[in-house]
Amino acid sequence: MLMSFRRKPVASVEPASVEPTQGPGSEVHALAQTLQQDTSGLGREAAELRGTLEDTAAVARRQSETLTHLLRQLQDIVRSQDQISVETHGSQGAMQQARESVAHVGREVAGVVDTLHQVSDAARQITQVALQTRLVAFNASVEAKRAGEAGAGFSVVADAVKDLSTQVESISKAIMSTVSQLDQRIQSLASDLSDSAAADARTSDGRVRFHHALQAVEQGVQRINGAADASRSLSSGITEQVGVMEGEVRQTRDVLDVAVRRSESVLGVSERLMDHLASCGVRTADSPYIDLAQQTAARISQALEAAVAAGRVTLADLFDEAYKPVAGSAPAQHLTRFNRLTDELFPEVQEPVLNTLPGVVFCIAADRNGYISTHNRAYCHPQRPGDVAWNTAHSRWRRVFNDRTGLASARNQRPFLLQTYRRDMGGGQFVLLKEAAAPIVVQGRHWGGLRLAYRF
């Protein structure tokens, strides 16, 4: 959390001096002013163009990534459909094997039916024999009774034979009855398993015959296979079209990347022109901001050197580059060993600058890697979890700004650097700014740069 500090007055920065209105000096001044205005306008247009190209290139990259992902999904679908086709072909083979197995079972059942018929015939023959045996036993019994006592033993045997023949007849009839029931059931099963036209009929209890059900399953598998083939053909066509689209979007993205690099060259030319104009000794509209950036950078350098001399920080800690990520931060924030020191020293130097000249948006010190340890108070709010857009606009401290502009300002070691760029405020909001930067040096070592951004 930032602490409260007393504001020290910042050396006043005089506005651009007015050159004589007559003579060679006035002509030079007028030319410089004209060039400054034209160069500033060129920088504005170049920055806007570059920003627009970057936005378009970002959209093209997202589209390319989306189409690439879609292409992979379509390829997965085609592979799945190929697998379905393989499985349905296998199912058709299995159904054919099932049909053959059922036909084999049907033939075996028919053999069982024939065997049962033979058993039934044998049982009928046994019944006939039993009837004849009983008749013979009856006749023998009559003859034994006529013989009197001499035929008594034979009468007992005749009665036993008669009883036995009666039992045999009863058993044979039971066998015939059981065989008849088995025959009816097996005949029904054989009819259900039959591969004939008669198998398409329904049984008396409304059940669909097995062979008919088997045919329905086969037809269903064939329909699935046909649908998979049609879907695979359609998906292959879509995959081909998406592949063409992905190639075209990738080509567009590459062209836009080239355009961004070329627009950066144009922007660089305008910045070099502004730099030359500001360095030629003629005061322009940017001169007061350049002066202010240099003065503020000198004050930051003096404050850091004094802290090292007083033992408040070591040079090793002041030049710490072991940035430690803050867990859960979005955009990412980092901590270093000099955070507490910059929170104590920088606000009293940076904050007054915001009101020194019109249009100043921020005044911050960045280390040589673009790391902003302590931003202006308006941008040093704690992050709101999950609210990236708000965090981007209001929580800009403890962050590394290693974009083109931020890194150039942080690593610049010339007396000053003047740049034009669009600042991302989050949520799709951008602000067009100019930035004057000046190096911050501590005990002869380049620590970073003072960044002073302003509207124009």
What are 55-98's pLDDT values in tens digits?
676 677 777 777 787 767 767 777 776 777 777 777 667 767 76
Mean pLDDT of 333-359: 98
For residue 286, give the 3-state DSSP assignment. Answer: coil
What would the two tokens of residue 190 be? 């054989």
Our separate counts of H helices and E strands in the chain read 8, 8
Give the pLDDT score at 439. Answer: 98
CATH architecture of 36-261: Orthogonal Bundle (1.10)
Give the pLDDT score at 6. Answer: 39
32-36, 141-145, 200-204, 424-428, range with the lowest pLDDT = 200-204
Distance between CA atoms of 200 and 206, rounded to whole angstroms?
A: 12
Give the pLDDT score at 210. Answer: 61
At 127, the amino acid letter reads T
Are 409 and 437 in contact, with CB atoms under 8 Å apart? Answer: yes
For the chain, what is the radius of gyration of the CA atoms? 52
Q: Nearest to residue 410, comparing CAs of 435, 376, 377?
A: 435
Mean pLDDT of the chain: 77
* Residues contacting 445, CB < 8 A, separation 6+: 315, 319
* Position 293 pLDDT exceeds 70: yes
* Position 44 pLDDT exceeds 70: no
Q: What is the pLDDT of residues 253-269, one digit of tens each?
A: 777 666 656 656 655 66
Distance between CA atoms of 267 and 199, rounded to whole angstroms?
A: 87
Q: What is the pLDDT of residues 371-415, one digit of tens each?
A: 999 999 999 999 999 999 999 999 999 999 999 899 999 999 999
Domain ranges of the chain: 36-261, 285-454
Give the pLDDT score at 65. Answer: 76
Q: CATH number of 285-454: 3.30.70.250, 3.40.50.300, 3.30.360.10, 3.30.450.20?
A: 3.30.450.20
Most distant pair of Cα atoms in the chain: their distance: 182
Question: Which residue matches tokens 């704690």?
Answer: 382
Cis peptide before 347 (omega within 30 of 0): no
Query: Which segment, 242-256, 281-295, 421-435, is predicted with the most confidence on average?
Result: 281-295
What would the two tokens of residue 63 be? 């589209």
Distance between CA atoms of 26 and 69, rounded to whole angstroms?
A: 63
Phi, then psi, of 450 in degrees rounded to 5: -90, 125
Q: For the purposes of burial, counting CB atoms within 10 Å of the CB of 171, is it exposed (0-12), middle (13-18) or buried (19 or more)?
A: middle
* Rounded percentage of the chain residues whose pLDDT exceeds 70: 66
46-60, 299-313, 356-370, range with the lowest pLDDT = 46-60
Distance between CA atoms of 216 and 212, rounded to whole angstroms?
A: 6
Instruction: Count Cβ atoms below 10 Å from residue 394 Cβ, excluding itself.
Output: 18
138: confidence class by pLDDT, cuts 50, 70, 90: confident
At what angle are helices 287-309 and 339-353 packed, to 10 degrees?
150
* Rounded percentage of the chain residues whose pLDDT exceeds 90: 34
Q: Nearest to residue 182, comparing CAs of 130, 123, 129?
A: 123
